[in-house]
Chain A
């Protein structure tokens, strides 16, 4: 067995890491055999060099601007990635740790730096960075396309309105002319279809607009709400003449709201109730205004399962209760956005007894008179 001192000598020279000692002048005074072998240089070759001379140009700048100051300030550095340059010009990727040894006066006597070969680790890290950059790039492109798609939806929705309006006008003209029973029936169905088409396009347009950066701009005025509700109900009765809609209103005085938007909200709720509720039972609409305005629409029929209830107001959510797959799943989303834009809420309760959607909106102190 050899002397311990020999063992330490061997440990230094043939350690599984590269090792250099720099003197007080910042020049290498000793480099171990491991490092010399990695770099294909002799110990004499490395002696008197400054550590940045072992690096490529980028590493030198980095060493001088970051690493050397760090070493002076905290007396060590840990886990710094560097590329050593071998004699033949090849690079040896390493991770370096260093520690300064200072005398009692705080002057640096020598600095030790250990290098761990890190070819695979550094390659892996670079690949991760590349993957991150690629992901960010893909996300940017995808966002751009998403915006284009939404613009497309907005334009498409807008352009679909005119032919739908022409169809609706035609159906109404024909309804006023003498016709037989079959024609009456077909025209009523067409009326329903046109109405649904218009509602779908309106919701689609609103969705695209909201996604393109606009919230729902409101044009609020203080006016009577009941005529607005009656008109919406009338439209749906015309569209679905065989269904019963019961109305109960208790609102005194004007309310501050956007008539088009609230009309749309109520229309979405009613259309939903008529479509998804029990077909042989009435749909009820109630509106009251005390401390807050509350408009609710209720229907009988299968309750909405709790799992679906949580996601009802998300865009494009179409529960799995209806295999017929009517609509885009935007109606409730748009309705809840309209509610929010009014500073209000849209909630749902659902039981065996009934399913009820309620829009609530706080009312300002109405005693102060008409609002602007």
Chain B
């Protein structure tokens, strides 16, 4: 469109009153202003959020400074607070969730978009969208009554038996802990990965597939070497979207993580995540320092999400440059 217009770009806007009035009447200017306000409001909301977290965490920041990030104690009675075990818990549960959910979700998406008969694909996609709509408290309750006994009695002892040489799978099996939280998160984010990845895969032009098949590729070669690479930017987008969800997920994690602020190399050990401790303790927090420490945890979670999303952006840009694939 730039080629056909001589007055494009901010510098070329006609600011004369009657010109503005004309654009107003035709609706262009109104649409421009309204959408601009909507766009800016997202920035404004984020800025206000950070500002509020910053202001209300002032007592905690003043008292603990950088030590807040490296201290492992969380003691509301003696007003001594550190964020390290919560940061660790948040990152480790999210990592477990992604390790489990990405292959599963991606596999399901490939099946649904490439291999499944259309009827089955439509039916399954409907079920997956339903899964995404289940409230997290339901996942938490289900986990308490079904997943945790299974973990304690069967899965964790088996892991310990076969993989006990890895520190991740040592220690007493209680059922609740990092592994349980990671598993629940994985179940919760799979629908997101499947749903978005499937859409992305379906958006790959048919002639790409036809060309690959025409060159003599098998069905699987077409899928794995042509369709998936073509859609990889979108697939990565779906993974990062679900990562953001896993980082901030509160209710289900709170119910199964074990409520113990500690750093343990074992996935069987109980732990704590940032969102979970805020949900658990905010309502009853009375002291000024206690309250501001919880707010500062919120700020830390924001920071973690910000950094990880930044890394995600860079990775997406890098993959775009490397190959000829386009973002869906």
| Chain A complexes with chain B | no
